[in-house]
Chains A and B, each alone.
Chain A
Amino acid sequence: MNENELLSPHATKAIEYGIAVAYLLLFIPFWSALNAPVRSRAVSGAWRFADWFYVPEGIFLHKGHAWARPEPAGVAVGLDDFVHDFVGTIEAVDLPTVGHRIRQGRTAFGIRAGGKSFELRAPVSGTVTCVNERALADPGGLHSDPYGAGWLFRVRPDRLDPNLRSLFSRGAARRFLAEATESLYLAFHPEALSLAQDGGLLVHGIARELDPEHWDDLVRSRLLTH
């Protein structure tokens, strides 16, 4: 047996190990690139409106535009920024009392804007453990931080996992808000759709602009409490 024959299995093994090490080394930048923050979302359909909305991580949206955020002290509940832009400045909030039981999808609390009252549906089921006194005292300031200081009350959930599964989060939440906006355009100003992708913002209190006479019905239809 000459020296080359003796070494050949070792050479093969060296190449195999080399490929394995190369894979692991290249996997690091590949994984990093794959998981880096996304640069921009391709504009298609309702996504043209997606940049108008910001839904923080951990927020779960209900179709009736109330949100839920699981926290160690319970699940915080609030209103998404679409509601604030849609109804305009909120004049008063009507919150459930501590100890009251609410159920996902059932009406649970209310707001007053433009002299009209609106009910909203609960995003999760559970027992109310505390209410945000600052929201009661200064409802007009809620829109400045709808997902933070703008929380309304907390609940001790009783079916959190199944409840969260039927809510929108992250990309799905932004898409939901974008589609809600797009459907408004389609209903009232379809001609403005082509301009909308160039950027813009919802007018504060746009429901009153879109349908001055029946704007309260329009709001209730969007809050699913018609």
Chain B
Amino acid sequence: MSEDAVARGTSGFSFVRERLLLGLAPKEYLRSLLTPANVLITAILAAGIPCIVLRFTKGLGAVTNLSQAYPWGLWVAFDVISGVALAAGGYTVACAVFIFGQKLYLPVLRAAILTGFLGYVLVLVGLIVDLGQPWRLPYQFFLTPGTTAVMYEVGWCVFLYLIVLALEFAPAALEWLGLDKLRRILGKMTIAIIVLGVTLSTLHQSSLGAFFLMAPGKLHPLWYSPYLPVFFFVSSITAGIGMVIFESTVSHRAFQDQLDPKAHVDLDGITLGLSRAGALVLFAYFFIRLQGLAGSGRWDLLATGWGAWWALEMLGFILLPSLLFAMAVRRADVKLARAAAVVTVLGVLMNRFNVSLIAFNWTLPNRYVPAAAEVLISLTIVTLGVVVFRWIVNRMPVLAGHLDQRGSR
């Protein structure tokens, strides 16, 4: 064997061992995977993947409670509509850092973009599982473009934004692979990519709300409003802020060994800065939602059970986290800020479920309740996302720092 071949062989071995197996021998690596968390993950995947196989071999009817009256169920409400909102952290932080110049948030940008990217990949996976004939997904772009349909716009936006998120995250992958030249070329396109990403997000986050404008008779009047696109867009910002606080806290605890001790990341300062923004956006969102009710004039519905549910969403999951965020900023209380972030994320989930599932078809006598297999498949998709997130963060420079942050622009 020539010296070159030996060198190549050694380099290939070193790549697999150092980059993929975290510097461990294959046996050691496999042994390191035996953790309680991985046992739980394996159990979820072992139960969920057969359900996904069943869905594709036996059809939607075999695993779901979907019907002609309820063609959109848990997967659309949770994996697609909620998933897009919860993945909004990427464009929220990217906009703050690169457009508004808030460099303080640079240390959490990559993790936010990775969460956004994986979030949108999961939206796509959820959509493929949910669509009766998923292979027809590209038809809307090329074969049967419905240029006046909201779905057409959402489809294009999500498709393009997925590419943009891949490009936004690519620098971390290129640094990991040691492709510095390509990374520098991509670095020069940063601002253009970020602006495109923010524009596409503004369009489709609001358009997801616009879906429901065509169903004024089906959506309960307390949630239906001509301002639904505005509601969805503004609340996606709150979801993004909440998710970035939540995700950065969890990541910095779970992946402490990934942090650069010399970077001196002021995570508390970042959390409190995001909390200030969260307080203001939620405060405005509360009044915008009130305007929606004022426009319909259906104040009488507040005295019903639906009214109590609506008031719980408004007071408990919009106004309350706004005030909690404000108190956290006033007291510089990071724990309170994290609690407010969790309430905010739950509030956005609650809103998306209300609009797309709970208050939708509210007059029908037989309500849809998701089948156990639907819940399991959703859980499987989220678990896959967590596994991929962990795999990437353990290998690529996601938390260890951004090149720009390290001053080597």
Residues of A within 8 A of B (CB): 8, 11-12, 15-16, 19-20, 22-23, 27, 30-31, 33-34, 36, 38-42, 44, 47, 63, 162, 165-166, 168, 170-172, 175-176, 179
Q: Is B294's CB under 8 angstroms from A16's CB? A: yes
Leading 4 A-B pairs by shortest Cβ distance:
A166-B407, A23-B287, A171-B269, A41-B332
The complex places the Cα of A84 from the Cα of B88 at a distance, in Å, of: 46
The complex places the Cα of A168 from the Cα of B331 at a distance, in Å, of: 23
Q: Interface-forming stretch among B5-13, B231-239, B276-284?
A: B276-284
For A176, list chain B residues within 8 Å (CB).
264
Q: Is A39's CB under 8 angstroms from B331's CB? A: yes
Q: Is B268's CB under 8 angstroms from A38's CB? A: no
Q: Is A172's CB under 8 angstroms from B266's CB? A: yes
Q: Produce 1/0 per residue, B60-102, CB < 8 A to A.
A: 0000000000000000000000000000000000000000000
Q: Is B279's CB under 8 angstroms from A42's CB? A: no
Minimal Cβ-Cβ distance residue in B for A105 = B407
The secondary structure that dominates the B interface is: helix
How far in angstroms is the closest Cβ of chain A from B12? 36
Q: Is A44's CB under 8 angstroms from B291's CB? A: no
15 further A-B contacts with Cβ under 8 Å, apart from A41-B332, A171-B269, are A8-B297, A15-B294, A19-B290, A30-B280, A31-B280, A34-B276, A34-B280, A38-B329, A38-B332, A40-B332, A42-B332, A63-B262, A165-B103, A166-B407, A172-B104
Q: Verify if B31 is at the interface (C-beta below 8 Å from A).
A: no
How far in angstroms is the closest Cβ of chain A from B105? 12
Which of B264, B287, B409 is within 8 Å of A172, CB to CB? B264
The complex places the Cα of A39 from the Cα of B330 at a distance, in Å, of: 7
Q: Produce 1/0 per residue, B19-45, CB < 8 A to A.
A: 000000000000000000000000000
Cβ < 8 Å to A, chain B residues 246-289: 262, 264, 266, 268-269, 276, 279-280, 283-284, 287
Q: Verify if B124 is at the interface (C-beta below 8 Å from A).
A: no
Minimal Cβ-Cβ distance residue in A for B336 = A42
Q: Verify if B136 is at the interface (C-beta below 8 Å from A).
A: no
Which of A11, A39, A168 is within 8 Å of B332, CB to CB? A39
The complex places the Cα of A27 from the Cα of B279 at a distance, in Å, of: 11
Q: Is B283's CB under 8 angstroms from A175's CB? A: no
Q: Verify if B194 is at the interface (C-beta below 8 Å from A).
A: no
